[in-house]
């Protein structure tokens, strides 16, 4: 593997990692920092990372670990949700209501504890099975399921989201 391979890796994977980081932290600048640190770490040991089955998985793991550690460090001072970055709630048409509903859901997700939010992002956005999430987080599968259940339960307590009372279960394919 060469520097060129790393350049290709950055070219192909940066956008995906940025999207993941953005969902985890909810802030564009912090997402860039997370991804930058992840890529720097990959770069430093690229000869090794390039030999593993999925360099992207390694980078993703670093992003997640960094996010969780940063969250712990900044939890007492940082306001994660940044209203300026969120579209204003709209109404009147069905489409607009859909967007507004997403805004409410997004706000609620952003207010979840970091590990709960991470589990939701990995399960619903990255589409990972619980076993893979457990591996990424270094936690038992039962803990992942517990975190997901608590996250969803907490979302349901939000008044704006409480209209949907359908009981939840892991999406198909998770186990």
Pick one of 1, 8, 90, 102: the residue that binds another protein (CB under 8 A): 102
- As measured in angstroms, the least distance from the Cβ of 72 to another protein is 6
| Sole window of 89-97, 129-137, 139-147, 156-164 interacting with another protein (rule: CB under 8 A) | 156-164
Instruction: Residue 85: name the closest of 26, 141, 36, 5 by CA.
Output: 26
172 binding another protein? (CB under 8 A): yes
Nearest to 108 by CA among 162, 172, 55: 162
Spatial neighbors of 141 by CB under 8 A, at least 6 apart, are 130, 131, 134
What the block records as the tokens of 13 is 């994977």
Where b means 16+ CB within 10 Å and e means fewer, 105-137 reads eebbbbebebbbbbbbbbbeebebbbebbbebb
The answer to whether 125 contacts another protein (rule: CB under 8 A) is yes
Angle in degrees, CA 63, 111, 170, rounded to 5 = 75
Q: Is 149 helix (H, G, I), strand (E, B) or coil?
A: helix
Binding of another protein at residue 44 (CB under 8 A)?
Answer: yes
Work out how close the CB of 45 gets to another protein at its nearest, in angstroms, rounded to a whole number: 6
**Which span (9-17, 88-96, 128-136, 139-147) binds another protein, by CB under 8 A?**
9-17
Span from 40-48, 88-96, 128-136, 139-147 in contact with another protein (CB under 8 A): 40-48
C-alpha closest to that of 13 among 79, 68, 58 = 58
Is residue 37 near another protein by the rule CB under 8 A?
yes
| Nearest to another protein of 36, 141 (CB atom) | 36
Residue ranges in contact with another protein by CB under 8 A:
6, 10, 14-15, 18-20, 22-23, 28, 31-33, 35-37, 39-41, 43-48, 51-52, 58, 65-66, 68-69, 72-73, 101-102, 105-106, 109, 120-121, 124-125, 152, 155-156, 161, 164, 166-169, 171-172
């Amino acid at each position: 593997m060469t520097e060129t391979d790393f350049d290709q890796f950055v070219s192909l994977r940066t956008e995906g990692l940025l999207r993941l980081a953005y969902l985890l932290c909810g802030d564009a600048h912090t997402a860039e920092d997370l991804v930058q640190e992840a890529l720097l770490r990959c770069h430093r040991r690229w000869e090794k990372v390039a030999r593993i089955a999925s360099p992207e998985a390694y980078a993703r793991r670093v992003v997640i670990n960094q996010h969780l550690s940063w969250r712990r460090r900044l939890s007492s001072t940082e306001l994660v949700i940044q209203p300026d970055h969120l579209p204003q709630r709209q109404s009147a048409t069905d489409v607009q209501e859909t967007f507004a509903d997403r805004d409410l859901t997004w706000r609620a997700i952003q207010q979840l504890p970091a590990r709960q939010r991470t589990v939701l992002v990995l399960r619903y956005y990255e589409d990972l099975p619980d076993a893979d999430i457990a591996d990424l987080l270094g936690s038992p599968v039962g803990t992942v399921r517990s975190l997901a259940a608590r996250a969803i339960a907490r979302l349901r307590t939000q008044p704006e989201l409480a209209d949907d009372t359908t009981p939840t279960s892991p999406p198909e394919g998770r186990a």
